[in-house]
């Protein structure tokens, strides 16, 4: 019986030593072999380039008519003709309203008669100085003529005639500019007082977009700089615009007003909301695709490729235009950067470049 116990003990000790040797052999397997067994991550790549980089400044605002003028009725009277309606297009000088001209016509006739009477009195008094007017003294003749006209009210009658003619002309209200009618205030038959606002004429063929830009970006904007305008009514189609004015002061929110003139309107109306993208070219910038930059613990990282392995690079980023990012420090021009499958990528992980 003792013999069997000794035999079992010897077998158990031998088995224990065998397991320990196997464990030691497994621990001696180099870590490099495990790395070779891990499947390579398929990635797409791009090249970090030094080139001209368009920094995009985004801002929103409202469209306004480049010219916006009120049509005013200067002469009081009854509105007898109103051939316009809101939204109608008119041209500069077109008659858009007409007042009853009866009273103005009577005043004109009175002024004409008054001038005729004054001229008749002047000619009558002139006969008393026939010798002076027959002489060759031009200075004397001019002096007498001025005196006699003033005495007989010729000058005053001429002014009153011009005033009466102007009042008659004001019975017709003409469009001050070409554009569309807005905010029509009266109807035909209304009794109008003097200097009443009839409507507003908006030059809808020339629209401007007023936007506010951060003061940190204003140094990148200049007059005649190109901009893209996306109205809310059509966010897919960009309209071309140019910067025509920059307010020289910053408001309390740290914003600067910038005015952009649109080159086309495409049925847009003043008051519509729109978004502007102002392009600010940056020369000799090192840029990478936006997808190449990932963030780890709040820091920007770009993975490059060396010997078919990923390389972790902390970078300092600059301006971002939505498609590319400016790299200020961390990688060099010409580096091959990873643009896909880099969110969970590790340092020195095996990678395989794939094409589209």
* Residue whose token pair is 């497994």: 26
Which band of pLDDT confidence, cut at 50, 70 and 90, is reported for residue 5? Answer: low
Which band of pLDDT confidence, cut at 50, 70 and 90, is reported for residue 223? Answer: very high
**pLDDT for res 104:** 93
Indicate if 166 and 268 belong to the same structural domain. no
14 is a domain residue: no
Indicate if 62 and 89 belong to the same structural domain. no
**pLDDT for res 233:** 73
**pLDDT for res 117:** 95
**pLDDT for res 30:** 52
**pLDDT for res 35:** 52
The enclosing H or E element of 121 equals helix 102-126
The residue out of 161, 194, 227 marking a domain boundary is 194
Indicate if 271 and 345 belong to the same structural domain. no
Indicate if 188 and 212 belong to the same structural domain. no
DSSP character at residue 238: P
What is the CATH classification number for the domain harbouring 276? 2.40.30.170
**pLDDT for res 85:** 94
Give the Cα separation of 48 and 336 in Å (integer).
Answer: 6
Residues contacting residue 152 through CB under 8 Å, at least 6 positions apart: 118, 119, 121, 122, 125
The residue out of 194, 213, 242 marking a domain boundary is 194
Range of the domain at 143: 80-194
Cα 25 from chain centroid?
A: 72
**pLDDT for res 38:** 64
Is it the case that residue 23 has pLDDT exceeding 50? Answer: no
161-219 residue pLDDT tens: 999 999 999 999 999 999 899 999 999 999 999 899 999 999 888 889 999 999 988 98
249-303 residue pLDDT tens: 999 999 999 999 998 776 788 888 999 998 888 778 899 999 999 999 889 999 9
> Could you tell me which residue, 28 or 205, shows the higher pLDDT?
205
97-112 residue pLDDT tens: 999 999 999 999 999 9
Indicate if 265 and 303 belong to the same structural domain. no
Indicate if 98 and 185 belong to the same structural domain. yes
239-246 and 226-231: which strand pairing? antiparallel
342-356 residue pLDDT tens: 988 999 999 998 886
> pLDDT > 70: what percent of the chain?
88
Mean pLDDT of 103-126: 94
**pLDDT for res 280:** 83
Indicate if 275 and 300 belong to the same structural domain. no
Give the Cα separation of 281 and 226 in Å (integer).
Answer: 10
**pLDDT for res 56:** 85
**pLDDT for res 25:** 43
Query: What is the number of domains present in the chain?
Result: 3
> Could you tell me which residue, 53 or 327, shows the higher pLDDT?
327
**pLDDT for res 1:** 47
Residues contacting residue 331 through CB under 8 Å, at least 6 positions apart: 48, 286, 288, 302, 304, 313, 315, 337
> Could you tell me which residue, 28 or 85, shows the higher pLDDT?
85
Indicate if 347 and 324 belong to the same structural domain. yes
Indicate if 215 and 303 belong to the same structural domain. no
**pLDDT for res 248:** 92
**pTM, two decimal places:** 0.59
109 is a domain residue: yes
Give the Cα separation of 41 and 342 in Å (integer).
Answer: 9
Is it the case that residue 141 has pLDDT exceeding 80? Answer: yes
Indicate if 88 and 161 belong to the same structural domain. yes
30 is a domain residue: no
Is it the case that residue 310 has pLDDT exceeding 70? Answer: yes
171 is a domain residue: yes
**pLDDT for res 4:** 46
41-43 and 351-353: which strand pairing? parallel
115 is a domain residue: yes
Average of per-residue pLDDT values in the chain: 86
The residue out of 219, 248, 282 marking a domain boundary is 282
Indicate if 271 and 308 belong to the same structural domain. no
73 is a domain residue: no
35-85 residue pLDDT tens: 555 688 899 999 999 988 888 888 999 999 888 899 999 989 999 999 999
145 is a domain residue: yes
Indicate if 314 and 216 belong to the same structural domain. no
DSSP character at residue 177: S
Is it the case that residue 27 has pLDDT exceeding 80? Answer: no
**pLDDT for res 92:** 93
What is the CATH classification number for the domain harbouring 330? 2.40.420.20
* Residue whose token pair is 């990678």: 351
- Distances in Å between the Cα of 281 and the Cα atoms of 143, 241, 284, 292, 320 are 72, 16, 10, 21, 12
> Could you tell me which residue, 89 or 2, shows the higher pLDDT?
89
7 is a domain residue: no
**pLDDT for res 127:** 87
């Amino acid at each position: 019986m003792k013999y069997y116990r000794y035999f079992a003990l010897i077998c158990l000790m031998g088995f224990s030593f065998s397991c320990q040797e196997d464990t030691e052999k497994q621990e001696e397997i180099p870590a490099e072999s495990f790395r070779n067994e891990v499947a390579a991550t398929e990635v797409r790549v791009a090249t970090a380039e030094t080139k001209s980089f368009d920094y995009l400044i985004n801002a929103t605002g409202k469209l306004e008519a480049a010219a916006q003028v009120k049509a005013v009725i200067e002469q009081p009277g009854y509105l007898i003709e109103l051939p316009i309606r809101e939204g109608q297009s008119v041209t500069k000088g077109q008659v858009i309203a007409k007042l009853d001209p009866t009273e103005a016509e009577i005043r004109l006739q009175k002024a004409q008669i008054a001038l005729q009477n004054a001229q008749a009195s002047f000619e009558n008094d002139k006969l008393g100085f026939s010798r002076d007017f027959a002489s060759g003294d031009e200075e004397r003749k001019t002096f007498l003529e001025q005196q006699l006209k003033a005495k007989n009210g010729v000058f005053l009658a001429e002014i009153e005639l011009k005033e009466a003619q102007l009042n008659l002309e004001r019975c017709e209200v003409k469009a001050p500019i070409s554009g569309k009618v807005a905010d029509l205030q009266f109807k035909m038959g209304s009794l109008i007082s003097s200097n009443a606002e009839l409507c507003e004429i908006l030059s809808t063929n020339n629209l401007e977009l007023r936007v506010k830009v951060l003061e940190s970006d204003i140094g990148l904007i200049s007059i005649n700089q190109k901009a893209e305008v996306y109205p809310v009514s059509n966010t897919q189609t960009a309209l071309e615009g140019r910067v025509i004015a920059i307010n020289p002061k910053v408001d309390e929110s740290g914003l600067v007003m910038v005015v952009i003139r649109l080159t086309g309107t495409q049925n847009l109306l003043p008051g519509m909301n729109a978004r502007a993208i102002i392009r600010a070219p940056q020369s000799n910038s090192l840029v990478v695709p936006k997808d190449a930059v990932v963030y780890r613990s709040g820091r920007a990282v770009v993975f490059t490729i060396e010997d078919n392995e990923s390389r972790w690079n902390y970078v300092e980023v600059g301006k971002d235009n939505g498609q590319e990012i400016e790299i200020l420090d961390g990688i060099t021009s010409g580096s091959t950067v990873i643009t896909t499958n880099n969110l969970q990528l590790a340092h020195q992980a095996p990678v395989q470049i794939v094409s589209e």
